[in-house]
Structure 1
Amino acid sequence: MQPTCIVIVGPTAVGKTALAIRVAEQFQTSVISADSRQCFREMSIGVAKPSTEELARVHHYFINSHSIQQEVNAAVFEQYALQSVNQIFAHRPVAVMTGGTGLYVKAFCEGLDDIPPVSLEVREQISRQYEQQGLSWLQQQVAQLDPVYYSTGEIHNPQRLIRALEVKMATGQSIRTYQQGNKATRPFKIVKIGLDLPRPLLYENINRRVEIMMAQGLQEEVRSLLPWKHLNALQTVGYNELFDYFGGQKSLPEAVEAIKTNTRHYAKRQLTWFKKDVETQWFSPNNEQDVQEFCAAATR
């Protein structure tokens, strides 16, 4: 059997973790998380990390593997994931990856564009100004300095905008100059599965998950991270809104409602990203048997 990685993607709260664990059990293998926040030890409730019971059922890579003090990006993930999948293939012919961070999945499957390094000084300068002046300032700067990216990129995603701006400031070139789409060749087979639900059901899942997170102690988790709220790892839905509550900009009900709204917007962006990939086969998370039969056939 050719070594195969089954990659399960989809929007937040669609049921990726539960299904990935069952697929991993089907092949008696491990799961690599492709989530840009679940890797951080200090963040648990707000990033919907797999439960202790789920982690005990199947070994997971890239869960609790880093600290929020460390810089973790798509390039770091690519190297980590390639090392992890090789470890799995040393013992099992099939590996499972799941997560909703599209750029991390792309980095693993296709490699990354060769973008010149950006100095820490430039990065910190942009981050400081963004903290002081907000998203509208960031959008205005990118529109002015990199109109090519602004007309085609994710202009409501601050991390993507910061990246575009720092590349422009550091190199004088649009980030699109370096994004040529040259795919790396991997020495194993990749099978992509997408999970989706009708919007009303997905949004109901999202709203319910936020309520459960609050009941589990999300407010206390975010309070404990206040001294580090400036770190990139914490520029995250579920944390930003409660930081605003602690800072007096929002009431608690307003913060909770903002988490639900922003999570729904994030899910929509995730679907837009993943639906562009014609290699992905789409299923309802409720059709577990169909997914398992597809995986069995795809790995023969």
Structure 2
Amino acid sequence: MGKTVIIIPGPTAAGKTAMAIRIAQHFDTAVISADSRQCYREISIGTAKPGEQELHTVPHYFINSHSIQEEVNAGIFEKLALQYAHDVWQQHDVVVMCGGTGLYIKAFCEGIDDMPAIPPAIRQELNRLYEDKGITWLQQEVREKDPAFYAVAEIHNPSRLIRALEVLYATGRSITTFRTGKTAERDFRIIKAGITLPKEQLHANIEKRVHQMVADGLLEEVRSVLPYRSHNALQTVGYKEVFDYIDGSLTWEQTVEQIIIHTRQYAKRQLTWFRKDPDIRWFHPSDTQGVLDYVS
């Protein structure tokens, strides 16, 4: 087969983790997580990290590998994941990558442009302004100050908008000027087998998962990372809403409802991103044989 990476992308709560573990077991290999939040040790419930049993079934990389105090981004992930894959290939020809962070998967497959380092104070201030003024303010700020990026941006994705403003404030240049558009050549095979479900089923899974997170102690987990609330990893679904609850702007019932709605919206954005990739063949999460046939 030669050195191969089987990538299993898809929306949240579709059943990617279980599929990745079955495929990794079949090839007696490891899984590299391509999830921008599961690498943080301090947050497990709100990130739907694989459970202890799953983590013991096959070796996993990029899970619990960093502290929330560290900054991790797509460029760092690209370098780490290439190293992880190289390590696994010493013993096995195949490695499995699984996750829903499209930008991380793209960085691994195609490379990513080097971005300037951002002073933490700029990031904290932007996150504070976003907290205070909301996404409409972010959109307006980007539209006025970086129209080139705004024209091509995912304008409903706050972390992308904040990222563009960080670069602009830190360097005085549009984030688009750092993009070379060059694709890195990889000397290994990449096979992409996406996992998704019909919309109603996916929505039901999301709702069930959110209620499970609450039962598992999501509120306590969010309280434990309050000092880091301005961190990018916590400006995301499941954490932002609970911060609002702690601040007193939502009831608990509203908080849970908001997490469900925002997770559905996030899943839709993930699918929009992945569906643009013609190299992904899609499968139902129960169709392990179909994935194995496709891969071989």
Give the TM-score of the pair, scaled to structure 2: 0.96
Moved over 6 A (4+): none
- 2:238 is aligned with what amino acid? G
Deviation at residue 206 of structure 1 after TM alignment = 0.5
- Counterpart of 1:244 in structure 2 is 244
In 2, Cα distance between equivalents of 1:256 and 1:128: 23
Is the CA contact (8 Å cut-off) linking 2:5 and 2:95 kept in structure 1? yes
Distance 1:140 1:241 in 2: 23
- Residue 172 of structure 1, CA deviation: 3.7
SS in 2 for 1:95: strand
Structure 2 counterpart SS, 1:230 = coil
Return the alpha-carbon distance in structure 2 between the equivalents of residues 246 and 118 of structure 1.
29
**Is 1:31 matched with 2:31?**
yes
Distance 1:72 1:140 in 2: 27
Give the drift of 1:120.
4.0
- Unaligned segments of structure 2, at least 5 residues: none
Aligned residue for 2:65?
Answer: 65
Whole-Å Cα distance in 2 between the matches of residues 181 and 278 of structure 1?
A: 18
SS in 1 for 2:151: helix
Match of 2:93 in 1: 93
Q: 2: distance between equivalents of 1:3 and 1:142?
A: 42
Q: Write the distance in 1 (CA, Å) between the matches of 2:197 and 2:36.
A: 23
TM-score by length of 1: 0.94
Residues 61-93 of structure 1 deviation map (CA, whole Å, 9 limit, x = unaligned): 000000100001111111110110000001100
- CA distance in 2 between counterparts of 1:115 and 1:273 reads 21
Establish whether residue 42 from structure 1 lines up as the match of residue 34 from structure 2. no
Give the superposition deviation at 1:121: 4.5
State how far apart, in whole Å, the 1-side matches of 2:190 and 2:111 are.
Answer: 13
Cα 1:224–1:168 shift into 2, 3 Å: closer
Task: Tell me which moved more, 224-233 or 237-246.
Answer: 224-233
Matches within 5 A, 1:16-27: 16-27=16-27
Q: CA contact under 8 A between 2:100 and 2:270: conserved in structure 1?
A: yes
After TM superposition, the structure 1 = structure 2 runs for residues 180-199 of structure 1, keeping only pairs within 5 Å, are: 180-199=180-199
Distance 1:24 1:273 in 2: 25
Distance 1:33 1:94 in 2: 15
Equivalent in the alignment of 1:104:
104
Return the offset for 1:117.
3.8
Distance 1:237 1:121 in 2: 23
**For residues 272 and 181 of structure 2, what CA distance do their matches in structure 1 show?**
18
**Kept in 1: contact 2:75–2:114 (CA 8 A):** no
Q: Which amino acid aligns with 2:110?
A: E
Q: Tell me how far apart the structure 2 counterparts of residues 61 and 134 of structure 1 sit (CA, whole Å).
A: 35
Corresponding letter in the other structure for 1:221: E
Give me the whole-angstrom Cα distance separating, in 2, the residues matched to 1:207 and 1:53.
Answer: 23
Aligned residue in 2 for 1:149:
149
| Pairs within 5 Å for 1:202-213 | 202-213=202-213
Q: Shift of the alpha carbon at 1:186?
A: 1.2
CA distance in 2, matches of 1:44, 1:54: 14
Counterpart residue type for residue 290 of structure 1: G
SS, match of residue 168 in structure 2: helix
The amino acid across from 1:285 in the alignment is P
Q: Structure 1, residues 196-241: CA drift from partner, whole Å, max 9, x if none?
A: 1111111111011111111111122112222322222211211111
RMSD: 1.4
Inter-partner Cα distance in structure 1 for 2:82 and 2:88: 10
- What is the DSSP-based 3-state SS (H/G/I as helix, E as strand, rest coil) of the residue aligned with 1:250? coil
Give ranges in structure 1 of 5+ residues lacking alignment.
none
Aligned to 1:136: 136
